[in-house]
Structures are given as C-alpha cells and as structure tokens.
Amino acid sequence: MRKNSLPLLLSVFCLQIAFGQMDLPKTQVYLLQMEKADSTYLFKHPLLLTSFNPDGYNNQPFFLSNNELLLTVGKPEEHQTDIYLLNLQRKTVLRMTKTPESEYSPKTTPDKLYFSVVRVETDAERTQRLWKYPLDRKDKGSPVFRFLRGIGYYHWIDAFRVALFNVAEVNYLSLGDLRDESTKHLAPSVGRCFATSPSGRLVFVHKITDNNWVIKAMDPETLEVEVIVKTIPGSEDFVIMPDGALLMAKGSRLFRYHPKEPGDWQEVADLKGIGITHVTRLAASNDGKLAVVNGG
C-alpha cells in the first residue's frame, strides 16, 4: 500500500464544556478538507466539530448539505441520544430532537423534507423502528414503517424503498417497501454501512466469514450483485467519493480504492498527528469535505 501522509494542524470548533461519564463510548467528529491531486487526495485544515460535547458520544455524521452536518449526540448527563445539526459555515449547533427515546443514524429522506432516524423506543423490548421528522421541526415525527421492527441501520434507495440492516434476522440485508410494508431478505451477515454508487447501485459490506469481508454492489432493480473489492482487514465503514472512489480507514490511516483504476487499496493519509487514532464512520460532502469519527 502506498503511503502519502501529511502533517495536520488542529483547530477547535465551538465552545468547550465539561460533562461527566455516560455508557456510550466517547467519540469525536473531525472535519477535513479534501483536495484531489492526480489520483489521490490531500487532507487539510482539520477542525474538531464536537468540542461542545467533549466527554460524550458524537457519531454517525451525515451531510445535509455542503455546509450542514447531522450528528447523533449523547451527552453524559442525559440517558438518550438525540440528533443535532451543525452549520459549518455559521459555526452553530442546533438540537433537532429532544425525546425520551434515543435516535440514531440521521439521514435525509429522498424528498429532502424530513430527516429519518433509527429510534429506540421506551417499551420493554426497546423496539427499534425507522422514524422521520420534518426538517422544519413543525411536528413530533412519525414512523416510516408502522409494523416493521428490528431495524439497526438503513439506506434510502428511492422514495419508496429502503435497504435495511435487520438485527432481528441475523443481520440480514433486507429491502423494505413503504407502499405495503413488505420486506425481502437479500443477503445475510452484512455490515452496518450502506451507500449509493455514482451508477445508482447499493454498496454494502458482506461478511462472508470472520476473515473474509468484501464490498459488494447490488443493482436495486435486478438485484444482481457484483463483488467490488475486499475490505481493509477488520474495517467495515466506508464512504464513496463523488468520483466513485472508496475510502476506508484502519486505526489512524485512510485508504483509497477506485474500481476503475489498477491496484489495491492505497494509503492516502495518517491522522495520528492530530490525535485521531481510531477512525470509524466517514461522511463526504459534494464539495470536498470529509467528516471523520474518532473512536467507537
């Protein structure tokens, strides 16, 4: 693997406030500016985005727009996670939910009018359902599926179909349809990360065995599946860049792979110089920003 590391300087975003401990792991979210150089990327101007919650859980970034980032946030003094919206241009933090339930995995719905979440309800079974809330926060939201339970992670394919990581069915990849609440099981033992390729295919990790994880792409119309590449060993989170390249991480290092270019994964950055030692989830904007979760 080719190494192309860059020294990075740390900047701080928002105010520092101290809190106590909580059950969820401490995680922080950083923002990096990406610049493409030939067939690789340079990562510059790192910002710590979550200094407003330094001892808490900050995870699952999703770019609402080039300058707006949705996050799952759990503060140590609270017993649930909620969704927050960071405006990167104005440097503001807005709490989008404040409920007794925990919300995770925020994403916008295809019509861009709502953001959807996995909501862990307060019943005895801790039911996990997919919910949606209006972005203007004018009402208290509603379930996307009334009866479908056991949703761990998800990805919108179109206005009616949702790819689902079904924790009740041995981590099956299922296809849910809002029109009749039907589900179709497609593959067992999948990872938690989903994305859409530039060609419109659903991209996911298939954990075939403990030591054999591969990234696959599925045509949502024909359900035909193609193997793209093996994952970085032990890593399951990835992001697809606007040019179709994949980014994954291992520890402090970032790796790039493009299906249309020769060769294997190539190391493009090492972030340990700014204290990022365990990269997990990643999110990319259309204008060259990369959100990186450290820890978790």
Please name each of the domains of the chain with its CATH number. 11-294 (2.120.10.30)
pLDDT of residue 5: 38
Percent of the chain having pLDDT more than 90?
82
Mean pLDDT confidence for 220-225 = 96
pLDDT of residue 296: 82
- Count of beta carbons in the 10 Å neighbourhood of residue 198: 10
Residue 54 above 90 pLDDT? yes
Percent of the chain having pLDDT more than 70?
92
Model confidence band, residue 35 (pLDDT cutoffs 50, 70, 90):
confident
pLDDT of residue 9: 36
Residue 8 above 50 pLDDT? no
Residue 22 above 60 pLDDT? no
Residue 4 above 60 pLDDT? no
pLDDT of residue 291: 98
**Least confident interval from 181-185, 203-207, 214-218, 245-249:** 181-185
Mean pLDDT confidence for 94-117 = 97
Model confidence band, residue 125 (pLDDT cutoffs 50, 70, 90):
confident
pLDDT of residue 15: 33
d(CA 280, CA 253): 11
Residue 18 above 50 pLDDT? no
d(CA 223, CA 138): 38
pLDDT of residue 39: 63
Mean pLDDT confidence for 211-226 = 97
Mean pLDDT confidence for 221-246 = 96
Mean pLDDT confidence for 253-268 = 95
d(CA 10, CA 159): 40
Mean pLDDT confidence for 235-257 = 96
Residue 1 above 50 pLDDT? no
Model confidence band, residue 37 (pLDDT cutoffs 50, 70, 90):
confident
